[in-house]
Amino acid sequence: MTKINLGIVFGGKSAEHEVSIMSTTSALKAIHRDNYKITLFYITKDGKWHVCEDIESIGSLSNGGRPIESEVLNQLYLQDVILPIIHGPHGEDGSLQGLLESLEIPYIGSKVLGSAVCMDKIVSKKILRQAGIHTVDYFELYESITEDNYKELLSFIKTYPVFVKPSNMGSSVGITKVHNESELKNALELALKYDRRVLIEEGVDAREIECAVLESNGILVSGVGEVIASNDFYDYEAKYVDDGEEKMQVPAKDISDDLLESIRSAAHKAFLEHGCNGLARIDFFVEKGTNRVILNEINTLPGMTQFSMYPCLFEEAGIAYGDLIDKMIENVIDHD
């Protein structure tokens, strides 16, 4: 059998650069090497593309110069399909997808529109509300903290805690759980370092439940897992630095059939409403006491480390990590 030329793009300019490297390391261990000729495309933190032989060599690669030199472009054109394992802005937000569309190179995952609207938490919430899918109440802050918008924000906040988030970022980067007004301005200033648009969400007393979606001969929705964070919330440290395997329960316990179906149905609908393709991890809150299902956010290129929920959920469903990658690639080839 002729091997498929598979290009893996990783690294990138966002604050999730290291997460991308961890995800790629895990994927390379799981992938069925006999099926593919793999070429690694590493993007440095300042946006320089390199073709590299292995992850161990990336520390010696240079920054600066034109982002994509001709030899890298030539290698991109040799690929049958690209697997982007790159998170956050400049990778998950439609920019990389737009580049690959312009080059007419097939790739795994959502297209430009689906990637962009899912990455932007404020736009996504507006789509969810239009679709009749529950989200938490939120406040939008733009550009800077002014006397007027700060006064409006204080009027919005009825009780603490609230969560302050950059509108475009992932892996909990730039997010703060705010317990009182004295913490609020510092949290806003942190979020504004990552994005000019900031989202302030009401806190809910809820379980954090996640499910995974895979496009493969139709849309497959997994069962659900639960995030059990040892930190104050499921932040970057809990996801990637601590012993991540202790922070997830797959499958989630004490989920009734009716509740499971409500979560899976909302995930399926949200995937379609956002114009997603290929894969997504969809994160929910299940409010304690009421079991109200609240959609938190959609991740179109979810973490793929050994501790990540997305591959774990499908492994629980009987699809091993390597087979999962096969299915993603087959879906692209079938629809190209």
Q: What is the pLDDT of residue 244?
A: 45
At 55-105, the pLDDT tens digits run 999 988 888 889 999 999 999 999 999 999 998 888 899 999 999 999 999
- Residue 245 pLDDT exceeds 80: no
- Residue 241 pLDDT exceeds 60: no
Residues in the chain: 336
- Residue 209 pLDDT exceeds 50: yes
Q: Which of 235, 219, 215 is nearest to 227 (CA)?
A: 235
Q: What is the pLDDT of residue 169?
A: 67
What's the CA gap between 95 and 42, in Å, rounded? 16
- Whether the CB-CB separation of 254 and 243 falls below 8 Å is answered with no
4 Cβ neighbours under 8 A, 6+ residues apart: 35, 36, 37, 80, 81, 329, 333
Q: What is the pLDDT of residue 237?
A: 53
Lowest mean pLDDT among 43-52, 136-145, 227-236, 248-257: 227-236
At 173-198, the pLDDT tens digits run 789 999 999 999 999 999 999 889 99
Residue type, 289: G
**Span 200-220, average pLDDT:** 96
Exposed / middle / buried, residue 253 (Cβ in 10 Å: 0-12, 13-18, 19+): exposed
What residues are paired with 285 via a beta bridge? Answer: 208, 294
Q: What is the pLDDT of residue 234?
A: 46
Q: What is the pLDDT of residue 240?
A: 45
Alpha-carbon dihedral angle through residues 175, 208, 303, 32, given to the nearest 10 degrees? 170
At 5-55, the pLDDT tens digits run 999 999 998 878 998 999 999 999 999 999 999 999 999 999 999 999 899
Q: What is the pLDDT of residue 63?
A: 82
At 274-326, the pLDDT tens digits run 999 999 999 999 999 999 999 999 999 999 987 899 999 999 999 999 999 99
What's the CA gap between 289 and 309, in Å, rounded? 25
Chain centroid offset of residue 192 CA: 20
pLDDT band with cut points at 50, 70 and 90 for residue 255: very high
What's the CA gap between 137 and 133, in Å, rounded? 12
State the chain's mean pLDDT as an integer: 92
